[in-house]
Amino acid sequence: MIGSLQIAVMMDPFDEDSWDTTKGDHYTDLEIEGREWEELFFNVLQAPEGQKYIDGEDIQKYYEHQENLFKENLTDKGYPMLGRIWWMFRDTNYLPSEVHQLLAECLKLQKKTENVYALSTLGKLIAACYEALKINSGLCFLSD
């Protein structure tokens, strides 16, 4: 899969107009590549892959359905925070209060897998969480 998710630390990740470097908002050197994302979500977590789009189907409803299937599946498996990273081409945000839970999910999963690409992804997610926690910040995963 092509694409990547660049990781940024941001105090208020749900307000893109609030970017403020004086408060600690910054881009990290961390980026999740397409193959890493696929290995973590489809091979390790066994998330459902997208259903085929049917010509004439409402595209918004199609994406909402795909998102719901993915998130519900991972929530049922105990990974609701990871489930929010449901597609490589959608931004994902975490409030400062959610970073601890994302970190806990990543650490739990890291112990259960030997998949090199998934471990790489988890390592980046864990590093980003620790970076955000240092300044009590949130996280943004920005699609390219």
- Give pLDDT tens digits for 59-90: 888 889 999 999 999 999 999 999 999 998 99
Q: What is the CATH number of domain 4-46+84-143?
A: 3.40.1760
21 has a pLDDT exceeding 90:
yes
Tell me what pLDDT residue 1 has: 65
User: What are the tens digits of pLDDT across the range 84-129?
Assistant: 999 989 999 999 999 999 999 999 999 999 999 999 999 999 999 9
Question: CA-CA distances (angstroms) from residue 81 to 23, 26, 57, 72, 129?
Answer: 25, 21, 29, 11, 12
- Write down the domain spans for the chain: 4-46+84-143
Nearest to 87 by CA among 39, 52, 37: 37
Q: Kindly report the pTM of this predicted structure.
A: 0.93
Q: Which residues contact 15 (CB under 8 A, 6 or more apart)?
A: none
